[in-house]
Structure 1
Amino acid sequence: MHRLVITPLVGCALFPFSACAMMLTDNLQLELKPQVVSDYRSRGLSMTLGNPAAQLEATVIHSSGAYAGVWTSNVDFGMNLKTRLEQDFYAGFFIPLNDDVSLDVGYLKYTYANEAQLNMSEVYVILKAYGFKFGSNYSSDLKTFVGKDQETLYSYLGYSHDIVDKVGLEVRYGRFDFKDDVFLSNSGKARGDYREWEAKLTRSAFGVNWGLSYIDTDLSKSECASYYASTDVCAATVVVSASKTF
């Protein structure tokens, strides 16, 4: 139930005549990004029980670097949970330090229709430098079976590189850490964190950004089932995606 925070293209706000967003005023732009994915995966986990998702992101960007927006997707967590819609609201500030280094800090609120107990918030910071990206998301209000307010920290390191014209490679390795032990194996051993990773090929064609990802976690089937009530949402998978930015 946690969307990976992807830094919006707020760099476009520094170039008023850029074509990557719609100008609202001389200092304000609107960026729209619809996307379809064969499986909505976040932090290595399926948010749709392995089924496809349609998603939409809208971000308002100021030339100062400030931005705010909303992101939405269909979801299905099973476990008799009624929610089928996730809506995330975010606001932040993008700081370009030079042409190759930038800092992004912000706040993110996750909401789920008909299942308010799943709602949570995070603060995040993302440092990008020379193709590398280091990000960290902290929350203190996630509700779990071991406590009402569960502190969590998700940290990741990523890298992106253009292989050839219009073809790119993106990789990520992340660690999701809970304050308490929430994952239990068949042997009875418990732990409070897991690792996840993704390798993604991207290609621009016909005005659309295409993606092909391999995603996996180090959670065993029993550990996955102990917390998410499913053995499949943590398993390795290939995800196909298509998106377009206006």
Structure 2
Amino acid sequence: MRFSMISLSVLTLVSATPAFADETAPPPPITINGSATVVTDYRFRGISQTDKNIAVQGGITVSHESGFYVSAWGSSVSGYVTAAGNSAQELDLIAGFKKTWNGTTFDIGALYYVYPKTKLPGSVVSSDFIEPYVSVAHTFGPVTAKATANYAPKQKALSLDQIGPKQDNLYLAGDLSAAIPGTPIGLTGHLGHTFGPSWLSIGKEYTDWGLGATVTYKALTFGVQYVDTDGDFITPTGKNASKAGVVGSIGVSF
């Protein structure tokens, strides 16, 4: 079960640039981008992955001019995100293809969720799973609208107890983002629906939504987001991880 949103970690990448690089030269065929973030709560599809506590996150993406890319992203998580109950980290491995034509961006790929060291000797519980995705986004001036579909085929890790029988999962979402011209402020809106039953849908289907704002300063991004769902997921500590909350974040891109 992967539940996300934003991260403060001291993580630095050094990129080597020729001292006399020509600023008018075309972009390189391969680009590398990374990020490090701290969030006050790690939310994914509206549900907390950290029992409403702070999470540290980071990622790196390698993109080719053809549109192909690979990415790795990780976050600290709480034990209840897997049935084994001993997860402390989530690692997402991503491969895809993205291209833009006339303001419309198409993105297709697959995401593999890995929870290191959750497979105990002799355990029949399965936590890792794959989820293909496709999205279409179009930009209208300062506003971008995006529609996304994630479909995870039947897998053991998606069963209600991560033991069996196998289940699949479908997630549909729409997002709006806007940059306020002349300012470093961005606004976001999100609406998504998870179809169940599966481990990802907390046993039944539910809807999540959110509104957010960001402010950028050089390589830093400060964010705040209101997140809520119409589901119920009670953690071992008695918190409802699916109910409304405000998430703050600070991150750096490089």
TM-score w.r.t. length of structure 2: 0.78
Instruction: Output the CA distance in 2 between the equivalents of 1:86 and 1:180.
Output: 19
Q: 1:66 matched to which residue of 2?
A: 68
Provide, for residues 31-81 of structure 1, a one-character-per-residue CA deviation record: whole Å limited to 9, x for no partner. 111111010000000001011011111111000000001100110033771
Unaligned runs of 5+ in 1: 7-16, 185-190
Deviating more after overlay: 75-84 vs 170-179:
75-84
Q: 1:89 matched to which residue of 2?
A: 93
Q: Which runs of 4+ in 1 moved over 6 A?
A: 180-184
Change (3 A) 1:238 1:180: closer
Number of equivalences: 219
The answer to whether 1:150 aligns with 2:167 is yes
CA RMSD of aligned residues (A): 2.7
Q: 1:14 matched to which residue of 2?
A: none
Q: 1:102 matched to which residue of 2?
A: 105
| Equivalent residue in structure 2 for 1:173, among 191, 206, 226 | 191
Instruction: Output the CA distance in 1 between the equivalents of 2:30 and 2:250.
Output: 27
Shift of 1:233: 0.7
Instruction: Output the CA distance in 1 between the equivalents of 2:213 and 2:228.
Output: 15
Change (3 A) 1:245 1:73: same
Conserved 8 A contact 1:118-1:143? no
Unaligned runs of 5+ in 2: 7-21, 120-125
TM-score w.r.t. length of structure 1: 0.80
| Equivalent residue in structure 1 for 2:219, among 207, 221, 224 | 207
Structure (1 or 2) with the greater strand fraction: 1
Q: 1:44 matched to which residue of 2?
A: 46
Provide, for residues 15-45 of structure 1, a one-character-per-residue CA deviation record: whole Å limited to 9, x for no partner. xx99xxxx9x931111111111010000000
Provide, for residues 134-158 of structure 1, a one-character-per-residue CA deviation record: whole Å limited to 9, x for no partner. 0010002223238432110011001
Q: 2:11 matched to which residue of 1?
A: none
Shift of 1:183: 7.8
Conserved 8 A contact 2:46-2:208? yes
Q: 1:235 matched to which residue of 2?
A: 243
Structure 2 counterparts to residues 127-146 of structure 1, below 5 A: 127-130=136-139, 131-140=144-153, 141=155, 142-145=158-161
Shift of 1:193: 0.4
